[in-house]
Amino acid sequence: MKKSVRFLGIISILIITFLFINGIQKKETSVAEPLHTNTHETYKIKALKLPENLNLAGERVPIEIQDVKERMDRELMVNTYWQSNGLLLIKRAHKYFPIIEPLLKKYGLPEDFKFLALAESGFIDETSSVGAAGMWHFMKATGKEYGLEINSNVDERYHIDKATKVAATYLLNAKERFNSWTLAAAAYNAGNYGISKRLEEQQVDNYYDALLPDETERYVFRILALKEVITNPEKYGFVFKKSDLYTLKDTKIIKVDTAIANITVFAKKFGLTYKEFKIYNPWLRENKLNNKSKKVYEIKVPI
């Protein structure tokens, strides 16, 4: 009798233990994430509502026109959902806009044209596949035509102040010719002659009514999309702290009217490496400055 009671007691304990462990396992299974989920359960790609007040330098974008709406929607979608590129452009804009904005004001251009420079180069020191260089992406011939010094030793397409002045001159001339900042921006991409020819052939007088080359068709809308996203980053899902953004140190100007035999040695006088020196003076293309003409160059060094 005692053995039977003891046996039944052991069996009861085993059953209770089994039920307890099985209950825990079921609970763990119920809260665990499923092994496979459909994309819609974890990630949503939302259509974007186009702002009604889109404009370039005060010139309204007629998004009530279906073709215009679709083209604007395309560029806004691309620049919203290409997140890595968008965030990089926001970071670089914080680095260079404080330099460009006073220059645009100085040379008489609307502030919106800082987004044209961003659209052109992305603010990176690279030459395009067709040879355009610098922040404003000038071709050699155009740069030289407007008075920039361009050779293997000095390339002023990379000189922010001088290149911005040339861009302003070109855009102001185009504005006078077409009586439109929007067409001036398009002409920056396709050339004054190219835009004039298309407008004349098609008997229209504005950018949004003209059928233009594919790149120019997208060009103004890319500028507008960058303006919208960078002006309202949180609206388009970009979240960051101010400390995440890129910056440049304040600089002072050193005037030089002689040759510099070795820029590395010259930079060390200001506590800079050659690489640090080139960040502020990318227009110096070699580790020397020839300057046979004794021209006065303005060199930037961080304070």
Q: In this predicted structure, what is the pLDDT of residue 193?
A: 96
pLDDT band per the 50, 70, 90 thresholds, residue 138 = very high
Q: In this predicted structure, what is the pLDDT of residue 44?
A: 79
Sign, CA torsion 211/216/222/223: negative
Q: In this predicted structure, what is the pLDDT of residue 130?
A: 87
List, for residues 90-121, the tens digit of each pLDDT value: 999 999 999 999 999 999 999 999 999 999 99
Q: In this predicted structure, what is the pLDDT of residue 1?
A: 47
Residue 2 has pLDDT above 50, yes or no: no
The two three-digit tokens of residue 244, written as one number: 């995440």
Owner of token pair 């974008």: 61
pLDDT band per the 50, 70, 90 thresholds, residue 129 = confident
Query: Do residues 244 and 91 touch, judged by C-beta distance below 8 A?
Result: yes
Q: What is the pTM of this model?
A: 0.85
DSSP label at 33?
P
Query: Do residues 271 and 144 touch, judged by C-beta distance below 8 A?
Result: no
Q: In this predicted structure, what is the pLDDT of residue 3?
A: 47
Element of type H or E holding 224: helix 214-231
Residue 10 has pLDDT above 70, yes or no: no
Out of 43-52, 84-93, 163-172, which region has the weakest mean confidence (pLDDT)?
43-52
**Distance of alpha carbon 62 from alpha carbon 67, whole angstroms:** 10
- The terminus-to-terminus CA distance of the chain in angstroms comes to 97
Instruction: Tell me what the mean pLDDT of segment 264-293 comes to.
Output: 96
Instruction: Tell me what the mean pLDDT of segment 258-272 comes to.
Output: 97
Higher-confidence position of 177 and 38: 177
Higher-confidence position of 44 and 244: 244
Mention every residue, 6+ apart, whose C-beta is less than 8 A from residue 73. Answer: 48, 50
Residue 64 has pLDDT above 50, yes or no: yes
Instruction: Tell me what the mean pLDDT of segment 204-219 comes to.
Output: 96
pLDDT band per the 50, 70, 90 thresholds, residue 58 = very high
Residue 151 has pLDDT above 70, yes or no: yes
Query: Do residues 91 and 84 touch, judged by C-beta distance below 8 A?
Result: no
DSSP string, 250-281: -EEEEEE-S-BS-HHHHHHTTT--HHHHHHH-
Which phi-psi region, left, alpha or beta, contains residue 286 (left: φ > 0; alpha: ψ -120 to 50)?
beta
Q: In this predicted structure, what is the pLDDT of residue 32?
A: 54
Instruction: Tell me what the mean pLDDT of segment 68-84 comes to.
Output: 95
pLDDT band per the 50, 70, 90 thresholds, residue 35 = low
**Distance of alpha carbon 169 from alpha carbon 179, whole angstroms:** 15
Q: In this predicted structure, what is the pLDDT of residue 126?
A: 82
Share above pLDDT 70 across residues of the chain, in percent, rounded to a whole number: 86
What is the pLDDT of the chain when averaged over all its residues?
90
Higher-confidence position of 33 and 45: 45
**CATH code of domain 55-244:** 1.10.530.10
Domain boundaries, the chain: 55-244, 251-302
